[in-house]
Structure 1
Amino acid sequence: MVKYGFIGTGSMAQAMIQGLIHKNILPSDIAVSSPRSAAKLSEKWGVVALPVQQLIDESDLVVLAFLPNQLDNITANVDFHNKLVVSVLAGINVAQLVAATGTTQIVRTLPNVNVANNQGLTAFAKETLTSTNDKIFNIFSDYLGDSVALAESQFPVFSAIAGSGPAYVFKFIDALAQAGIDNGLEAALATKIATQTVLGSATTLLKSSQTAQELQNAVASPGGSTRAGLDDFNDQNFDHVVSHAIKATIEHKHL
């Protein structure tokens, strides 16, 4: 049984822990270390609160999930041995992680919040791992959703689409729901309709051999009401608005 350790307990660490527990990983096989919140999470979920070095010693996979500017202070006086170290630290590349931890058993990752319900997508870049650690990382990724190997130079684009993207999808759902409310639907019902429609449409696209553009055309009959809506999206430069927002996100992140 793989044991997981989280150094840091911020929102991403908690989302990952939730995802592991949802996949029936025992809370007793998950350790956390944080001066302010480890005890609270232990009480809330049954995970084990440990000092940093003990957490490393007793874990097969160690997740670095604290603030990036804390990297040198936290890693200065600990020994990672040959354990698999997975970082979710924004803006810290593989070379920096190797230098700080003193191990090459490093994977830099960019998960998104959907790991909490096992539907996440995680980008990763890694050093050459031992066969044991490589196997552990594959299991870890499968539990939380899916993963994709990516050059670190492409992390900013991935982060803008997959990391920030959930917020933009929520905004679209909210806009759909608000349009329903404006046209006479009750708020909770409008939100349910919009949410399920986005979920179902995403599932349809994932399972289809057709592109998103082809599926748009399949739904929108020539001269029909759906085509009228899509034409209005084009008139309002919808694609440009999305592209512009992603560009702003990339330029702001500087990953």
Structure 2
Amino acid sequence: MTKYGFIGTGNMAKAMIQGLLKSGVQATDILVSSPRSASKLADTWGVLALSPQALIDESNVVVLAFLPNQLTRITNELHFDQQLIISVLAGISLSELQEATHSTEIVRTLPNVNVAINQGLIAFASGQLMAPNAQLFGQFTEKLGESTDLSEDQFTIFSAIAGSGPAFVFKYIKALSQAGINNGLSEEVATNIATKTVLGSAMMLASSDATAQELEDKVASPGGSTRAGLDDLDAENFDDAVKHAIKATMQHKHL
């Protein structure tokens, strides 16, 4: 039975743990180590709280999920064998991770928050893993969503779209909901309509061979009310606003 260990229990680690639990992994097969919150997670979710080295010794997969500036201090006290090491530390390159852990069985990843519901996107970069660890990594990411192999210099744009993107989508849903409220709907009804509309539209695009532009054109008849709304979005530079938001995100992040 595969044991998954998390050194650090911040928001991303918790999202990944939730995803593993939802995928059917037993709580007792998930090990956590954190000086402040491991015992609380053990009480809440039934996972096992251990010291960092004990966690490593017991785990097949070790996820590094603490603050990036703690890498050297934490790994200096630890010994890794041939376990698969998965890092979610922003801004820490694969070579830096290998140097700090003295291991080549390591994958640098960048997951988004949707791993919590098994719909995550995970960018990864790795060296040549041993076959069993490569298989373990594939199984791990399949439990959480979908993974894509990227060069490390592409992590910044991935983060802007996939990592920050959910916040932008939530903002869009909030704007749609507020428009409904402003025109007489209750907050509950407006939020449900906006949420289900975005969800269904995303699912339609994901299951279709058509492009987003082609589906947009199918919904918007020439001269119709939808086209009037799209024309107004164009007049308000909607596409440019999104591009500017992505650019601002990329300029701020150091990945």
What SS does structure 2 have at the residue aligned with 1:107? Answer: strand
How big is each residue's C-alpha offset from its partner over 1:59-114, in whole Å with a ceiling of 9 and x where there is no partner?
A: 00000000000000100021111110000000001000000000000100000010
How big is each residue's C-alpha offset from its partner over 1:91-145, in whole Å with a ceiling of 9 and x where there is no partner?
A: 0010000000000001000000100000000000011100000000000000001
Q: 2:33 aligned with 1:33, yes or no? A: yes
Q: Which runs of 5+ in 1 are unaligned?
A: none
For residue 63 of structure 1, what is the aligned residue in structure 2? 63
For residue 133 of structure 2, what is the aligned residue in structure 1? 133
Give the deviation of 1:177 after TM superposition.
Answer: 0.3
How big is each residue's C-alpha offset from its partner over 1:28-71, in whole Å with a ceiling of 9 and x where there is no partner?
A: 00000000000000000000000001100100000000000000
What SS does structure 2 have at the residue aligned with 1:85? Answer: strand
Give the Cα–Cα distance (whole angstroms) in 2 for the partners of residues 147 and 25 of structure 1: 19
For residue 98 of structure 2, what is the aligned residue in structure 1? 98
Give the deviation of 1:150 after TM superposition.
Answer: 0.4
Identity %: 63
When the two structures are superposed, what TM-score results if normalisation uses the length of structure 2? 0.99
Give the deviation of 1:228 after TM superposition.
Answer: 0.4
Give the Cα–Cα distance (whole angstroms) in 2 for the partners of residues 175 and 240 of structure 1: 17
Across the aligned residues of Structure 1 and Structure 2, the Cα RMSD in angstroms comes to 0.4
For residue 179 of structure 1, what is the aligned residue in structure 2? 179
For residue 124 of structure 2, what is the aligned residue in structure 1? 124
Give the Cα–Cα distance (whole angstroms) in 2 for the partners of residues 100 and 124 of structure 1: 18
Give the deviation of 1:246 after TM superposition.
Answer: 0.2
Q: Give the aligned residue type for 1:102.
A: H
Give the Cα–Cα distance (whole angstroms) in 2 for the partners of residues 235 and 184 of structure 1: 26
How big is each residue's C-alpha offset from its partner over 1:12-37, in whole Å with a ceiling of 9 and x where there is no partner?
A: 00000000000110000000000000
For residue 213 of structure 2, what is the aligned residue in structure 1? 213
Q: Give the aligned residue type for 1:211.
A: T
For residue 114 of structure 1, what is the aligned residue in structure 2? 114
Q: 2:53 aligned with 1:53, yes or no? A: yes
Give the Cα–Cα distance (whole angstroms) in 2 for the partners of residues 143 and 225 of structure 1: 42
Give the deviation of 1:254 after TM superposition.
Answer: 2.0
Give the Cα–Cα distance (whole angstroms) in 2 for the partners of residues 43 and 63 of structure 1: 20
Give the Cα–Cα distance (whole angstroms) in 2 for the partners of residues 214 and 197 of structure 1: 18
What SS does structure 2 have at the residue aligned with 1:174? Answer: helix
What SS does structure 1 have at the residue aligned with 2:157? Answer: helix
Q: Which runs of 5+ in 2 are unaligned?
A: none
Give the Cα–Cα distance (whole angstroms) in 2 for the partners of residues 254 and 120 of structure 1: 21
Give the Cα–Cα distance (whole angstroms) in 2 for the partners of residues 127 and 93 of structure 1: 12
What SS does structure 2 have at the residue aligned with 1:254? Answer: coil
Q: How many residues align?
A: 255
What SS does structure 2 have at the residue aligned with 1:230? Answer: helix
Give the Cα–Cα distance (whole angstroms) in 1 for the partners of residues 66 and 123 of structure 2: 18
Q: Give the aligned residue type for 1:114.
A: N
Give the Cα–Cα distance (whole angstroms) in 1 for the partners of residues 77 and 132 of structure 2: 25
